Amino acid sequence: MRAHEAGALHGNDIAPTWLPYPQDVNALLPGLWSQTTARGADGALEVGGVSALRIAEEVGTPAFVLDEDDMRTRALRFREAFTEAFRPLSGADIYYAGKSFLCVAVARWMEEDGLGLDVCTGGELAVALRAGFPPERLALHGNNKSDAEIRRALEAGVGRIVIDSLEEIDQLARLARESGARPAVMLRITTGVEAHTHEFIATSHEDQKFGISLASGDALEALRRVLAQEDALELLGLHSHIGSQIFDTGGFEVAARRILGLVAQVRDELGATITHLDLGGGFGVMYNTQHTPQTPEALATGISTIIEKGCLDLEIEIPRVAFEPGRAIAGPSTQTLYTVGTVKDVQLGGQQHRLYVAVDGGMSDNIRTALYDADYSTLLASRVSDAQPQVVRVVGKHCESGDIIVKDEYLPGDVGRGDLISVPVTGAYCYSLASNYNHVPRPPVVAVKDGRITTLLRRETEEDLLGLDAG
Ligand SMILES: *Cc1c(COP(=O)(O)O)cnc(C)c1O
């Protein structure tokens, strides 16, 4: 493979500035692929000791391919790093955020690896219960929980329920009295901190649906109301979640300081002790070279220092702290394998043209590009090629021009029908946001490990779809 200066030989400067011209278009970018992904002797991509060719042959495409060792290592690493860093304080717990990707097998892995599990609907709770997840290690979220969802959580003995509004306090207290349970509750507080990627904003108000506002005084009022109903509710602590795909601890620091300020206020004005904090999830992952995630160890050390210092400054007892990573555990473990169909070279005017590579899935299995303007990467998976790299756009098969999976990436210029390509870091918020748009059945999720393929979720069939149609 010859290396070129960006733009020197390919004469097609449509690549965004962050996307470097590849030294080797067949190489796996470090940090982007799950830990067991490599090129096999025949040049095909291999995960969990299984060739992409064999996966395509046995389960078809598109398919989500989950590297089991990778996901479990990430889960364990978060648990161990935070346990270690918070040991000198009052300890820490990791709850896997099930909304990023949940199925029975994943719930069992999280259970075995000592994590808790966050669920935010009756459906997610049902998966956890089906997996036999210990209810005391479950947390129930949701800004609009139904009576039925709350009853089910109370009946199951869910370990903590995160209250999201003033209204929910009375709803939960009423249902708790009815059921005879006394749930441990946390109050979700909005601190005015909103973080995305490399920036955060800190305001004194929030214009969004989640949580109970700190700045308006509602948060203190909510605590008063919970304490007034201590016959029905056990006040466990406070919760804050500031956003997603976050790379530094600055936003956590501002949010934590505001929450700890409330802890001190509760002690001084209401005479109550807050023993638990939950600082939510949101730790970022690498989708491409623009992203520079911190290790779990660095995050744990950074945040534990923030908590320790904040508590010292306010002279409050250090609470036990929970975190809820979803994307950082599920995301990088999984890649989506697609088969290439139509390839179209579209003239853009001047010397410029763009190679549109259409695959057999699309926005129904990965809506993040259309929804969040996400940037993904991709690699030729069925072979290596020494053709000159070209900027491609990977699109799906849906009737929508926004049906884009990878906006910009280099692939060998000879990519064509029948090739397999793989898109990394699709483990979080892809399957869980998947749809049946255009009556396209959802792909399967298969786990690969030690040369074995295990189906976690089978491919949907037309029969599954027609089964809903009353005719
Ligand atoms: C979405 C969410 C998470 C997980 O966020 P990630 O970005 O996947 O880590 C955790 N906690 C709450 C309350 C959430 O809404």
Q: What is the pLDDT of residues 225-251, one digit of tens each?
A: 999 999 999 999 999 999 999 998 999
> Is 423 within 8 Å of 408 (Cβ atoms)?
no
What domain count does the chain have? 2
Q: Which domain holds residue 184?
A: 69-325
289 and 358: one domain?
A: no
- Annotated catalytic residue within 103, 311, 399, 430: 399
In degrees and rounded to multiples of 5, residue 280 shows phi and psi of 75, -165
**Residue 5 — pLDDT band, cuts 50, 70, 90?**
very low
Is it the case that residue 6 has pLDDT exceeding 70? no
When pLDDT is averaged across residues 308-335 and rounded to a whole number, the result is: 98
How distant, in Å, are the alpha carbons of 186, 311, 329 from that of 95? 14, 23, 11
Task: Look at residues 325, 349, 378 and tell me which one is the last residue of a structural domain.
Answer: 325
> Is 278 within 8 Å of 237 (Cβ atoms)?
yes
260 and 308: one domain?
A: yes
Kindly state whether residue 284 falls inside one of the protein's structural domains.
Answer: yes
**Residue of 188, 238, 241 to mutate, ligand 1, most atoms within 8 A of C-beta:** 241
Query: What is the whole-number distance in angstroms between the Cα of residue 20 and the centre of ligand 1?
Result: 31
Looking only at the bridges linking them, the beta strands covering 50-51 and 63-67 are: unpaired
pLDDT of residue 9: 47
pLDDT of residue 341: 98
> Is 240 within 8 Å of 233 (Cβ atoms)?
no
* pLDDT digits 0-9 by tens, 289-316: 889 999 999 999 999 999 999 999 999 9
312 and 365: one domain?
A: no
Kindly state whether residue 161 falls inside one of the protein's structural domains.
Answer: yes
DSSP 7-47: TTTT----S-TTSPPPS-TTSPPTTTS-TT-EE-TTS-EEE
In degrees and rounded to multiples of 5, residue 199 shows phi and psi of -125, 155
331 marked as binding residue: no
Q: Within 6 Å (CB) of ligand 1, which residues are found?
A: 97, 99-100, 118, 141, 241, 244, 280-283, 324-328, 428
CATH number at residue 180: 3.20.20.10
Task: Look at residues 271, 302, 325 and tell me which one is the last residue of a structural domain.
Answer: 325
Kindly state whether residue 26 falls inside one of the protein's structural domains.
Answer: no
Kindly state whether residue 223 falls inside one of the protein's structural domains.
Answer: yes
> Is 381 within 8 Å of 50 (Cβ atoms)?
no
* pLDDT digits 0-9 by tens, 254-264: 999 999 999 99
281 marked as binding residue: no
386 and 305: one domain?
A: no
pLDDT > 90: what percent of the chain?
92
* Cα Rg of the chain, angstroms: 24
pLDDT of residue 204: 73
> Is 457 within 8 Å of 98 (Cβ atoms)?
no
83 and 185: one domain?
A: yes
Task: Look at residues 260, 294, 325 and tell me which one is the last residue of a structural domain.
Answer: 325
301 and 440: one domain?
A: no
Query: What is the whole-number distance in angstroms between the Cα of residue 99 and the centre of ligand 1?
Result: 8
Separation CA 30–CA 406 (nearest Å): 18
Q: What is the dihedral of CA 234, 176, 259, 279, to 10 degrees?
A: 100
Q: How far is CA 155 from the centre of its chain?
A: 28
Q: Tell me whether residue 120 is one of the annotated catalytic residues.
A: no
Q: What angle do CA 374, 377, 379 make, to 5 degrees?
A: 155
**Residue 349 — pLDDT band, cuts 50, 70, 90?**
confident
Q: What is the DSSP letter of 375?
A: -
Task: Using alpha carbons, select from 223, 236, 311 the residue that is nearest to residue 270.
Answer: 223
When pLDDT is averaged across residues 100-109 and rounded to a whole number, the result is: 98
Kindly state whether residue 17 falls inside one of the protein's structural domains.
Answer: no
* pLDDT digits 0-9 by tens, 55-74: 999 999 999 999 999 999 99
pLDDT of residue 12: 59
When pLDDT is averaged across residues 325-344 and rounded to a whole number, the result is: 98
When pLDDT is averaged across residues 317-331 and rounded to a whole number, the result is: 98
360 and 423: one domain?
A: yes
When pLDDT is averaged across residues 393-419 and rounded to a whole number, the result is: 98
Separation CA 187–CA 174 (nearest Å): 17
Amino acid identity at 95: Y
Is it the case that residue 7 has pLDDT exceeding 70? no
Task: Using alpha carbons, select from 279, 298, 245, 296 the residue that is nearest to residue 425.
Answer: 245
**173: helix, strand or coil:** helix
Taking residue 470's Cβ as centre, other Cβ atoms within 10 Å add up to 4
311 and 413: one domain?
A: no
Query: What is the whole-number distance in angstroms between the Cα of residue 103 and the centre of ligand 1?
Result: 17
Q: What is the dihedral of CA 109, 111, 116, 120, to 10 degrees?
A: 70
When pLDDT is averaged across residues 115-124 and rounded to a whole number, the result is: 98
When pLDDT is averaged across residues 427-446 and rounded to a whole number, the result is: 98
More confident call, 198 vs 417 = 417
308 and 450: one domain?
A: no
261 and 340: one domain?
A: no
Separation CA 36–CA 456 (nearest Å): 19
Kindly state whether residue 30 falls inside one of the protein's structural domains.
Answer: no
> Is 121 within 8 Å of 463 (Cβ atoms)?
no
Kindly state whether residue 15 falls inside one of the protein's structural domains.
Answer: no
Kindly state whether residue 219 falls inside one of the protein's structural domains.
Answer: yes
Give me the chain's average pLDDT, please. 95
**Residue 8 — pLDDT band, cuts 50, 70, 90?**
very low
Query: Which structure tokens are listed for 7?
Result: 């733009």
Separation CA 20–CA 429 (nearest Å): 27
CATH number at residue 349: 2.40.37.10
113 and 230: one domain?
A: yes
56 and 74: one domain?
A: no
pLDDT of residue 1: 34
> Is 224 within 8 Å of 266 (Cβ atoms)?
no
